[in-house]
Amino acid sequence: MTGAGGATTDVWEGPPVGSARHAAVVVRAAWKSSLAGSAEYRGDLVVGTLVSIVWLAVSAVPAVVVSLNSAGAGGWTLPRLMCLLGVWYLMDAVMWIVVMPNVGQWGEQVRSGTLDGVLLRPVHSLVLCSFRVVGVQDVPKVLLALALVVTSLVLGGGPPSVLALLAGAVCVACGLVLLWALAVLTSYKVLSHVQWDASFLLHAGLNLGRVPIPLYGDVLRVVLTWVVPVAFLTTVPAQVLFGMVPWWTVGAALGFAAASVVVVVVLWNRELRRYAGAMG
């Protein structure tokens, strides 16, 4: 734009600064930068793909063993176990593509002072701190996970209806929201307690989701479903895809996801007020 005297001035012509659309534009630009930088290391992407294939094969062993030594305990036949494994692997992929490169670095950023610069940008701090970096080398995991889910549905006769497929996709999305929320809840205290590190709870919760929650004992099953909703990370999406649970379960998944976002935002804003910065 040309100002007075013919001088050229830079004016932001995108969405309003600080809005959700503006945050999306900033995050998208950051992801493009990460992708451009990773394009120079194609060898790492190839190695990462091979490692992901081996890791997925190893992860599938327990499901195969269970299916060969049981008659589908609780209705969990091999295709259904494979579907759960695919959803779990998708969650694991997102954890290493988005969660760990961002949330997992908060402690180091607080100690080094680099978090200060992030917080000063005109974007919601939690959004930018959670999503600005992407681990490109683990992207092949997403494709492998989706391929496993599709294969399991084909072997298992497919979802009972298109509605079940859509509901399953909604539950997967809710599971991803819950995964992010759990990551933030185990890490946000680092803003006021520099040595804080409870990330092991995130890994523990996700690993518990590798086994169908109904196969746990009664008490643990209730805790992992309604107290710490690990079941909604992996088990519920697989159950919905195969029509194993009533439809109100989808509403419960949406409710947990929405509630988790509200809780996380409130706690983050409260903790941010206590953040003294690198010089504090």
Whether the CB-CB separation of 237 and 87 falls below 8 Å is answered with yes
The pair of three-digit structure tokens given for residue 153, joined into one six-digit string: 């549905």
Position 190 confidence tier, pLDDT thresholds 50, 70, 90: very high
> Residues 142, 148, 150, 153: is their CA dihedral positive or negative?
negative
**What percentage of the chain reaches a pLDDT higher than 90?**
51
pLDDT at 174 over 90: yes
Highest mean pLDDT range out of 7-16, 62-71, 265-274?
265-274
CA atoms within 13 Å, Cβ hemisphere of 81: 21
Which residues pair with residue 8 across a beta bridge?
Answer: 2
Which residues pair with residue 2 across a beta bridge?
Answer: 8
pLDDT score at 249: 96
pLDDT tens for 14-36 read 666 656 677 777 777 777 776 66
Q: Give the contacts of 45 (CB within 8 A, at least 6 positions apart).
A: 38, 136, 137, 139, 140
Dihedral angle, C-alpha 135, 138, 142, 145, nearest 10 °: -150
pLDDT at 47 over 70: no
pTM: 0.85
Give the 3-state secondary structure of 67-136.
HHCCCCHHHCCHHHHHHHHHHHHHHHHHHHHHHHHHHHHHHHHHHHCHHHHHHCCCCCHHHHHHHCCCCH
pLDDT tens for 63-79 read 666 655 555 567 888 89
> Residues 224, 229, 231, 236: is their CA dihedral positive or negative?
positive
pLDDT at 50 over 90: no
Name the more confident of 218 and 60.
218
pLDDT tens for 128-159 read 999 988 887 888 889 889 999 999 999 988 78
- Nearest 5°: the CA angle 213, 150, 101 is 70
- Residue 161 CB: number of other CB atoms within 10 A? 10
pLDDT score at 61: 66
Position 243 confidence tier, pLDDT thresholds 50, 70, 90: very high
- Any idea which residue has 């107290």 for tokens? 227
pLDDT score at 264: 97
